[in-house]
Amino acid sequence: MPSILDKNQYPHRRYNPLQDEWILVSPHRAKRPWQGQLEVSERTKLVEYDPDCYLCSGNARASGKTNPEYESTFVFSNDFAALSQDVPEFEDPDELLGCKSVKGESKVICFSPHHSKSLPLLSLREILEVINTWKSESAELGNRYHWVQVFENKGEVMGCSNPHPHGQVWAQNCLPSLVTRKQEQLTQYYERNGSSLLLDYVRKEQGLSERIVCENRDWIVVVPFWAKWPFETLLIAKFPVQRITDLSLTQSKSLSQILKLLTCKYDNLFRCSFPYSMGWQGAPFDQKDHPEWTLHAHFYPPLLRSASIRKFMVGYEMLAEAQRDITPEQAAEKLAQQESIHYQEGIAYSEKNNVR
């Protein structure tokens, strides 16, 4: 039997079974004074159209190509793609200087023509359009590539090069390094237990109710027990499903609801457009059954104490292992307590109806 440890007071390490790694948790450090870098909070006024934006409907992009007058989601091949189809076959197996070619494609997905509406400000119908686009792009690229990565970088602090709400989808002919490690971990767990690691994890989190942020019939959001980032969350399907392309219309609709709720809670936490990197992960597109996989999405937000203080992965994190101050349980409680109505929608309602 493990001895009792107050995890909100004492340093301890937590195991991440998805990546076979440990995370150092130091809850007492959350009290230390901050005199480091302060980020500029993104509290910009909502603008429907920006004539200088490369992604707005009808505008010219940096490549010189012109966007159509799109009215819903809009997808195009990245003008500065990280992956290319036209790469010669090459492999050097050198033990110290190994190198091999990789083929793939990179696309951009504009969520809507509205220049300032990120996911929490879109309607459920508009979010469903985004989900349907994720599904259709994954299906199309999955016919040619083993791995399809849908993701979004939101906010300047996360390296987003354009404020118009958008995401990306990259596809390649091999599994990336982190995915390979996750595939190994999921497979080993399934071989030992005959069940999905993530579905078992969902049941354990539901039984404990310590790290749940929100859930509905089909989906659950938790701050994972092994979270690295202060307000990191894991969005997991509560039913057996391996790929985003396998979602039914009903499941996609309930996903739109949980996405809007989670992202509203994020923005409401520090009353700002909450930055993050998020991405979907499911089974590879290799025409094989993968009962070890359960579809899920990671959200990695960098903010720590406020809209202007962020977490940095430096020093010990880069040289030894990830470390966090606020415990996952404390983070989950803060997020769960946030309102389900976006703070800007509340402000707009108050101004419209002269509520003070």
d(CA 317, CA 124) in angstroms, rounded, equals 38
Is 166 part of the annotated catalytic residue set? Answer: yes
Closest CA to 130 of 97, 79, 167, 159: 167
d(CA 18, CA 15) in angstroms, rounded, equals 9
Query: Which residues fall within 8 angstroms of residue 253, CB to CB, at 6 or more apart?
Result: 124, 128
d(CA 140, CA 156) in angstroms, rounded, equals 30
The amino acid occupying position 72 is S
d(CA 257, CA 218) in angstroms, rounded, equals 10
d(CA 179, CA 277) in angstroms, rounded, equals 16
The number of helices, as runs of H, and strands, as runs of E, in the chain is 7, 16
CB 119 within 8 A of CB 131: no
CB 197 within 8 A of CB 292: yes
- Interior/surface letters 172-211, b for 16+ CB within 10 angstroms, e for the rest: beeeeeeeeebbebbeebbeeeeebbbbebbeebeeeeeb
**Cα Rg of the chain, angstroms:** 21
Q: Of 115, 166, 296, 342, which residue is the catalytic one?
A: 166
d(CA 110, CA 273) in angstroms, rounded, equals 17
Name beta bridge partners: 212. 222
DSSP letter at 44 equals P
Q: Any idea which residues carry the catalytic annotation? A: 166
